[in-house]
Amino acid sequence: MFVDQVKVNVKAGNGGNGIVSFRHEKYVAYGGPFGGDGGKGGDVIFEADPNMITLMDLRYHRKIKATPGENGKTKKMHGANGEDTIVKVPLGTIVKHADTGQIVADLTQPHQQQIVAHGGRGGRGNYHFKSSRNTAPKYAEDGKPGEEFDCIVELRVLADVGLVGFPSVGKSTFLDAVSRAHPEIGDYPFTTRAPNVGVVETKDGRSFILADLPGLIEGASQGKGLGHEFLKHIERCRVILHVIDMGGEEGRDPVEDYKIINDELGSYQMRLLERPQIVVANKMDLDHAKENLQRFKEAYPDVPVFETCTIIHEGLDPVLRKAADLLATTPPFPIMDDMGQDVGVTYTMESKPKDFEIVEVEPHVFEVKGPKIDRSFDITKLNTEEDYYLFSQRMRYMGIDDALRKAGCQDGDTVRIHGFEFDFIES
């Protein structure tokens, strides 16, 4: 079974917690804080494996987790970092964020690796917080959570030349004739349900990868038939080899077929028509082939056509030499995301989101919320008087006190953070 798209959940390891510890050695004067830092959580890494051809393994492993970091230890010892989880996928795999469609990994080279989810940072032990004003801090940081999200893992066949055309025009027969690949060949539409790939070598010693892709039909760019399942696989091809049934064996018009296929390629958002195209007039041994070829040349006088009969391996070498010539001068095309944008690094001017905002939810009750509050506030850490002191200092450092005053908060009013309520007191 060929699997070319899987949705999985990735969860990087959480960072280990720092600890509170003090020296108690008999001959060490004044001891002091001695708590170590927590270890970093493991990353989730995707690696391109040349020996894999489908995403079948991921179909049965939808939850991918990395190991969390260990907590800190006494004597300022650092907790062990979590182990990374390496996920092996075929060459040509793209990993996209399920919510935004943003591409986070594009793996095209053997053994290429990309971190998809980063592990959380370990928390600091209490020895980091020693100061002249607080020589015995009883406070340590918790580790940060690792990244977690759903992602779409998608395989786009890594080939130099892609065979396109209507079903049953002879694409699979062409691949079988010029390579050692043995695709399924039948006398019915949509024989090829998944891409087949073979290595082709010309008589002058040049070689390239040729992909027999599932057949196109009218409306494919809107998802009809195999639709996008087919078109996405041609994105990596640098040359398109357009096979036409010039004999009209299925009762189709070769001239109209050529127009329909190119319309579908042009309608797809990835600019497929920018790739050089070789037109192969196949099945030239049939009765009406010469007549149809003449009509085709009249309709498209500027399009070079190569006459072949793939079933008896006739006329194939000129096609292969032409494909090798075009590959020598055609650079790789960038992979685009769902919005038609290059997945390379882009810079955009966006306003920085606010760290927090204050809303008066009811008279004399103010709620503080925002991404920085989510990262800084942890009710489980408010256990001692020192914890509350450090929390209030952090809120003051973030400017929340002044922001509450500007919002109209007065002495004795209620401040709500994550469902917990505090009294605002003017000092």
Greatest C-alpha distance within the chain:
104
Residue 192 tokens, joined: 């090829």
213 is in an annotated binding site: yes
Q: Is 267 annotated as a binding residue?
A: no
Q: How far, in Å, CA of 237 to CA of 215, rounded?
A: 16
Residue 301 Cα distances to 124, 276, 284, 297, angstroms = 73, 17, 19, 5
Long-range contacts of 220-229 (CB under 8 A, 24+ apart): 220/264, 220/268, 221/264, 221/265, 221/267, 221/268, 222/267, 225/190, 226/190, 226/193, 228/268, 229/4
Q: Is 284 labelled a binding residue?
A: yes
Could you tell me which of 132, 137, 130, 87 has the C-alpha nearest to residue 112? 87
Is residue 54 part of an annotated ligand binding site? no
Q: What residues contact 414, with CB distance under 8 A and at least 6 apart?
A: 364, 365, 366, 421, 422, 423, 424
* Residue 93 is assigned to a ligand binding site: no
Q: Is 64 annotated as a binding residue?
A: no
Which residues lie below 8 Å from residue 369, measured CB to CB, with a gap of 6+? 356, 357, 359, 417, 418
Does the annotation flag 215 for ligand binding? Answer: yes
Q: Is 174 annotated among the ligand-binding residues? A: no
310 assigned ligand-binding residue: yes
CB 343 within 8 A of CB 354: no
Is 191 annotated as a binding-site member?
Answer: yes
Q: How far is CA 117 from CA 56, 65, 95, 154, 156, in A?
A: 21, 10, 11, 17, 21
Check the annotation: does 405 bind a ligand: no
Q: Is 321 marked as binding a ligand?
A: no
- To the question of whether residue 419 is assigned a binding role by annotation, the answer is no
* DSSP at 254: H
**Contact at 8 Å (CB) between 14 and 93?**
no
Does the annotation flag 311 for ligand binding?
Answer: yes
Give dist(CA 20, CA 124) in Å, integer: 10
1 is in an annotated binding site: no
Packed helices 316-329 and 171-178: angle between N→C axes, nearest 10 degrees: 90
Question: Is 166 one of the annotated binding-site residues?
Answer: yes
Is 2 within any annotated ligand binding site?
Answer: no
CA distances from 321 to 181, 311, 344 (A): 19, 19, 32
- Coil, strand or helix: which one is 109? coil
Whether 173 and 185 have beta carbons less than 8 Å apart is answered as yes
What CA–CA distance (Å, rounded) separates 427 from 423? 12
Residue 339 labelled as part of a binding site: no
207 phi/psi in degrees, rounded to 5 = -140, 155
Extract the annotated binding site for GTP: 165-172, 190-194, 212-215, 282-285, 309-311
Extract the annotated binding site for Mg(2+): 172, 192
Extract the annotated binding site: 165-172, 190-194, 212-215, 282-285, 309-311
